[in-house]
Each structure stands twice: as structure tokens, then as C-alpha cells.
Amino acid sequence: MGLKAILQQKKKAIVKDWIDLVIDTYPGDSSKFMKSKGDRFANPVGSTISQGLDALFDGLLNGDSREKMMDMLDPVVRIRAVQDFAPSQAVFFIIYLKKLIREKLKKETKKDKIADELAELEFKIDELSLLGFDVYMGCKETLFSIKANQEKTKIYKAFKRAGLVTEVEEIGPEPGELNI
């Protein structure tokens, strides 16, 4: 039996432990809440994490494209990007998957063919962690841009209220400057 078949058999246990690991990175009350509520409306963060990790695991096994993996990573990493996790904390859950898989496959990894396939899978997980970092940085750039625009707007409105800014009429080009 190949690695993919073994991982398919153990998927439920691996993904459950992976989800628990991610949820355990949240403070006590939040973690307890996310584990107790399965409803996606009552617990959108927990639901997004669960669905995202399940899809990522399948994507790794199926060899999904980089773009598809980024699409699956985005919701999970986006949540962590807006929740003040450091970059390393935000994407560490991806790397931890390697440890979870090794723990679940202790017996099977002694076989040479499985060991080679496992090394290849671990490389894919490393690539996934780098994609996660790219997604995280994209989210942070968007957040910083939004915050900067909000500050610019506040400053402009304050200056306008103080009479320090006035609207300037747009003046067209001088008649001699037109190249018709």
C-alpha cells in the first residue's frame, strides 16, 4: 500500500489533530468555544479552519496546483493575519502537519518506498508553508493599506473642517497647449 492510500485511511485522525492544534493556538476561552461549536454560523472561525485544513490535506494528497492551494490557504491564513499572530505563528500550523503525519505513520515509515514518498510529501508541506507566508503577507499589506487610507481620510476631513483645505476647480489646458 502506498503513502497516499495510508494517509487516506488515517485522514480523519490526522486532520482532527491538525484542527485541534490550530485551535489550541487561540486563547483559552476562544479555543474552548471553537471546539464546542460546530455550526458555521455560530462559529465561523472554527468552521473556516476546519473546512480549510480538510481541503488542504486533500489538496496535498491530490497534488493540487499552487493556485488552488493558495485559494484553500487564504481563508485560514487571512483569519490569522487579522488576529495579531506573528507571521511565524500564523503559518506554523502548516509545518506542524509533518510531525502529525510522522506520529500517525510510525510503523509504515520503516518501509523504503513509504519513506521516499513521505520525504516528497514533506517537501510539498514545506512549499505549502511558504505559500502560507505569501498569503499572510498579502493580507497584512491589504490591512496596512486600508489603515493608511483611513488615516489619510481622517486627516483630510480634519483639515477641511479647520478650513485649511479647499476644493480646487480643475482647470483645463490652455488653448495653445492643445495638440489637435
Give yes or no for a contact between 81 and 90, defined as CB atoms under 8 angstroms apart: yes
More confidently predicted of 112 and 150: 150
The structure's pTM equals: 0.74
Give helix then strand counts, H and E, for the chain: 6, 0
Q: What type of residue is 130?
A: L
Cα-based angle 25, 133, 151 (whole degrees, multiple of 5): 90
More confidently predicted of 66 and 107: 66
**pLDDT value at position 107?**
80
- Neighbour-count burial for 95-116, b at 16+ CB within 10 Å, e otherwise: ebbbebbeebbeebbebeebee
**Whether residue 180 has pLDDT greater than 60:** no
**pLDDT value at position 37?**
72
**pLDDT value at position 164?**
82
**In sequence order, what E strands does the chain have?**
none
**Size of the chain in residues:** 180
Query: Across residues 12-22, what is the average pLDDT?
Result: 94
Beta-carbon contacts of 80 under 8 Å, excluding residues fewer than 6 positions away, are 89, 90, 91, 136
Of 40-49, 53-62, 88-97, give the range with the top mean pLDDT.
53-62
Query: Across residues 58-82, what is the average pLDDT?
Result: 93
Q: How confident is the model at residue 135 (pLDDT cuts 50, 70, 90)?
A: very high
Give yes or no for a contact between 35 and 26, defined as CB atoms under 8 angstroms apart: no
Query: Cα–Cα distance between 69 and 91 in angstroms, integer?
Result: 14
More confidently predicted of 28 and 68: 68
92, containing H or E segment: helix 87-104
